[in-house]
Amino acid sequence: MSNVITCDIPLNEIKPYIIANVELQKEDIATARLLMQGAPGSGKSEIIKQICEENNYGLSVKYLSNMSLEQITGIPCKVESGNTAVWSKPEIFNFNDLDYRPENYKEGESTTILLIDDFHLADRITQKYLFQLLTYKSLNGYRLPSNTAIILAGNRNTDKALSNPVPAPVMNRMIVFEVSTTSDDWLQNYAFKHGVRGDICSFIHSRGEYLAQTPIESAAWASPRSWTFLSRQMDVYERLFKELSIGKLKEMSNGLIGPECTSEFIAYRELFAKWNFNELSTWDFVDLQKKFKIEADKNPTSVYAIINSVVNWMIQVFRDQNFQTNDKVKNSINFTYEVLSHLSVMKTSKIAIKPLVIAGTKYINIFQKSMTKNLKDSKKLAALDNLLELFMSNLNKKRDCDWIFYSILSEIWEIPYDNGDEEEIAKAEKSISAKN
């Protein structure tokens, strides 16, 4: 029976499998090495780095396709007549310059991942040396320390990434996982943590199908990596030149995510940028509601731009105030509550708004989960824990919109409510239905 296991799972869910395989490799030399396969730019290398950071593993990344054969095998440097050749130490065994070195790292003692990246590019000559390396963790008289685990990452045959076929005996020495990237997974476990722009994050949250396209040869296409690059490029351009026009953004985006995604992103961003909640939060709320209704009736797409804009505005205020729940943060949360709760019961002839409010509220939940997971400061973590409480403090349970929004918050944050709450929610839904 073959030892190869293939499985398609969300990228972040690969972590426990990799950690378990690392521990197994430390205990048993002759065991399967984990190969992670997925589309280019999906974050495979980044997830390995995250694992090392979270578990205090050292990380050494090697690209076999970029190494000469001598770097992989070493060279015979001392050959005497009648004696066995002595080989130089292969570069693949050199851990002097780690790609990630945790504090108190001790070579030969601390757990280390040897990541063989872009494995799909290794040619047949290189691959034949993997028989010994994958089976015994050794080559030409040199052995990896017992605390070292070999993990491989590469693209699939269908990814147009110059993938080379791998001999069956080599594949049979690996446990293979095929990973995919979802928008929620990318936002929660990468984008928020690494400061990807709010307009990009909210667009991907709303239009997750544009996060990753089928790879294209010799042309730009969208991937988690290219969206991250676009975010950084936009940030630097705005810092240097103050303003990023639509024309400049189009040129920039075309070169990173391709024309199809560029067209959709720019159309969204124009609507998104229209709603300046630093200014709108000072309006009389009744007047603002009227403006929302006019825009929703005129252009239904405006509604999800309004929701995403106000949510991103609130998150940005929270970030700008360094996660402190001061008056400015509280006011932004209170205002956002009013916008979302009132929109949750607004009716138009062209679009159902409540599902968009649910999506926007879920976006806040994803942000909170991401920051809770990645922040270390106890005061900032306490502020994040208070975020839901601050939302709920607006709930006076007297208006229909409060009960409807309460049901949304309860579902997303998994807050149980009693039979009395269910009755009030049902009454609110009936009342709203009668009014419309």
Per-residue pLDDT of the chain (436 residues; tens, 9 = 90+): 334 445 578 888 999 999 999 999 998 777 889 999 888 888 889 999 999 999 999 999 998 878 888 888 888 886 676 677 788 888 888 888 899 999 989 888 899 999 998 887 877 777 777 788 888 888 888 888 889 999 999 887 665 545 667 777 777 888 889 888 889 999 998 999 899 999 999 999 999 999 988 877 778 989 999 999 999 999 999 999 988 999 999 999 999 999 999 999 999 999 888 899 999 999 999 999 999 989 888 888 888 899 999 999 999 999 999 988 899 999 999 999 999 999 999 888 778 899 999 999 999 999 999 998 888 888 888 888 888 888 888 877 678 999 999 999 999 999 887 778 888 899 998 988 887 6
**pLDDT for res 183:** 92
**pLDDT for res 69:** 82
Q: CA-CA distance, 41 to 226, in Å (whole number)?
A: 7
**pLDDT for res 7:** 54
The answer to whether 40 and 46 are in contact (CB under 8 A) is no
Q: Which fold would CATH assign to domain 8-180?
A: Rossmann fold (3.40.50)
Angle of CA points 314, 369, 189, to nearest 5°? 105
Q: Which residues of 142-162 are buried (b: 16+ CB within 10 A; e: fewer)?
A: eebbebbbbbbbbbeeebbbe
What token pair was written down for 131?
């028989």
**pLDDT for res 2:** 38
**pLDDT for res 86:** 81
Which residue shows structure tokens 């190494």? 67
Name the residue type at position 272. Answer: F
How many whole angstroms from its chain centre is CA 350? 33
Q: From 260, 262, 236, select the one nearest 247 (Cα to Cα).
A: 262
Contact partners, residue 410, CB within 8 Å, separation at least 6: 416, 417, 421
Domain with CATH 3.40.50.300 in the chain: 8-180
**Length reported for the chain:** 436
Contact partners, residue 96, CB within 8 Å, separation at least 6: 107
Q: CA-CA distance, 354 to 351, in Å (whole number)?
A: 9
Instruction: Kindly report the number of other CB atoms within 10 A of residue 422's CB atom.
Output: 11
